[in-house]
């Protein structure tokens, strides 16, 4: 049974960080939907989340970081991608970018990695407390609706270590995903952010 805490608990982000550092799995409220969160360097924890969701290993998780500087060692940021990042981060936008050699360690050798900076006070505190990247993926079974409140995560209680109640999420959709590995750039997933607004910045 997961330990359930409120995001209003001033120590909540520290408690979650400790669980993740120790190889645990957390359910956290983001600025889009509720997400599973694990240490990006802990392959075993990631395997468990893939199993929980029934998700194909071909589908990568999203890497969340607190600031742009945190990802420079992991991905290459082309000029146009940087322009978009500065305009829409923190926010509900995931950019798929080319991995560096260090980034390939996290991506399992893949040449790209989806990254974003969330517009969530709780998540930003957690990420800064971690001091290292966190992989996230929506709380749901693969290809099913994502959890938008803590009650919709209850079915996963026995499978995770800690769950944070952050109330109802602001949006009903996941982040918008843009692949910027090569031109022409591609909208991989339409989500919270208007893709037209994003592409106009390129």
Residue 176 structure tokens: 């918008």
The pTM (predicted TM-score) of the whole model is: 0.96
Q: Which long-range contacts (CB under 8 A, 24 or more apart) does 50-57 make?
A: 52/25, 52/156, 52/159, 52/160, 53/137, 53/140, 53/141, 53/142, 54/141, 54/142, 55/137, 55/142, 56/142
Handedness of CA 168, 51, 39, 198 (dihedral sign): negative
- The domains of the chain are located at 3-74+104-172
As a whole number of angstroms, the distance between CA 74 and CA 71 comes to: 5
Q: Which DSSP helix (H) or strand (E) runs through 86?
A: helix 79-88
CATH 3.90.870.10 fits 3-74+104-172, yes or no: yes
> What percent of the chain is modeled with pLDDT above 90?
92
Encode the chain (202 residues) as per-residue pLDDT tens digits: 799 999 999 999 999 999 999 999 999 999 999 999 999 999 999 999 999 999 999 999 999 999 999 999 999 999 999 999 999 999 999 999 999 999 999 999 999 999 999 999 999 999 999 999 999 999 999 999 999 999 999 999 999 999 999 999 988 789 999 999 998 999 999 999 999 889 888 7
């Amino acid at each position: 049974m997961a330990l359930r805490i409120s995001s209003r608990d001033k120590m909540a982000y520290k408690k979650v960080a400790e669980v993740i550092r120790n190889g645990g799995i957390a359910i956290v409220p983001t600025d889009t939907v509720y997400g599973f969160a694990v240490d990006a360097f802990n392959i075993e924890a990631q395997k468990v989340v893939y199993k929980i969701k029934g998700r194909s290993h071909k589908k990568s998780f999203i890497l969340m970081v607190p600031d742009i500087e945190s990802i420079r060692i992991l991905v290459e940021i082309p000029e146009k991608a940087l322009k978009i990042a500065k305009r829409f981060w923190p926010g509900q936008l995931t950019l798929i970018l080319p991995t560096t050699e260090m980034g390939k360690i996290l991506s399992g050798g893949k040449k790209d990695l989806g990254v974003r900076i969330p517009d969530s006070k709780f998540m930003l505190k957690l990420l800064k407390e971690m001091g290292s990247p966190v992989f996230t993926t929506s709380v749901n079974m693969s290809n099913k609706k994502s959890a938008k409140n803590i009650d919709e995560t209850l079915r996963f209680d026995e499978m995770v270590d800690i769950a944070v109640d952050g109330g109802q999420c602001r949006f009903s959709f996941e982040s918008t995903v843009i692949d910027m590995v090569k031109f022409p750039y591609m909208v991989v997933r339409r989500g919270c952010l208007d893709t037209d607004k994003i592409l106009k910045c390129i």
